[in-house]
Amino acid sequence: VEFLYCDLASMKSIRQFVQQFRAKNCPLHVLVNNAGVMLVPERKTKDGFEEHFGLNYLGHFLLTNLLLDTLKQSGTHSHNARIITVSSATHYVGKLHLNDLQSRCSYSPHGAYAQSKLALVLFTYRLQHLLTANGSHVTANVVDPGVVNTELYKHVFWVVKVVKWMTAWLFFKTPEEGASTTIYAAVSPEMEGAGGCYLYNEERTKSADVAYDEELQRRLWTESCKMVGISDEASRLP
């Protein structure tokens, strides 16, 4: 195991990480997008993005796009490279505000978090469409890990923290249990060649209806490219 530092809240750090990784000339068979914050007070990333949207979504959007060429070169017909993005059931109540992705008009920690998780599902579906259109041996899937007992809840109201402390053993998954579906998506033979899936408890399930809106997927992709400063070659694809 070799550690390479990458701060998903910094576009500069992401680009430096990709440079370091590419310099090693290593193949890339599995990319798991799993960084995130939840219900943080209103604040910005180093690039001025609202933190939920900037770290949870845009950081992974840029990282994945910068690594796509390596992923495409690493995948084969019999063994596709795999991209697994971790979302949340919160995406079901999320609303994507294309005219205010930074939540400047009215900030809500819950709304901003849910929007970032919905954006990850829309991103995954659009990415899989583009990979298929290009004939790439890469698949993209999105995972709901469930309610997991981690430090992600450190910004919730103190009453919720007390309830969590008292009931975690009964209602929350352990980190190991929470990782099971991500691992399933990354290595299971059953997922070979399968992309564009929303997975929960190691099973394919239906995501929010709005996530299947192809026009919304396209518009979010185009806007995201502008935000992170990469070319939107995908806009020329159907």
Per residue in 116-137, pLDDT tens?
999 999 999 999 999 999 999 9
Host domain of residue 105 = 11-235
In a domain, 5, yes or no: no
In a domain, 111, yes or no: yes
Number of domains within the chain: 1
Per residue in 42-98, pLDDT tens?
999 999 999 999 999 999 999 999 999 999 999 999 999 999 999 999 999 999 999
Confidence at residue 150, expressed as pLDDT on a 0 to 100 scale:
53
In a domain, 122, yes or no: yes
Q: Is 153's pLDDT higher than 80?
A: no
In a domain, 4, yes or no: no
In a domain, 153, yes or no: yes
Per residue in 169-222, pLDDT tens?
445 667 677 688 999 999 999 999 999 999 999 999 999 999 999 999 999 999
Question: Global pTM?
Answer: 0.88
Residues acting as catalytic residues: 113
User: What per-residue string of b and e applies to 33-71 under the rule 16 or more CB within 10 Å gives b?
Assistant: beebbbbeeeeebebebbbbbbbbbbbbbbbbbbbbebb
CA separation for the pair 40, 109 (Å, rounded): 6
CA dist 58 → 7, 12, 42, 86, 195 (Å): 12, 13, 17, 13, 21
What CATH number corresponds to the domain at position 192? 3.40.50.720
In a domain, 52, yes or no: yes
Q: Is 148's pLDDT higher than 90?
A: no
In a domain, 119, yes or no: yes
In a domain, 125, yes or no: yes
Q: Is 156's pLDDT higher than 90?
A: no
pLDDT (mean) for 130-159: 75
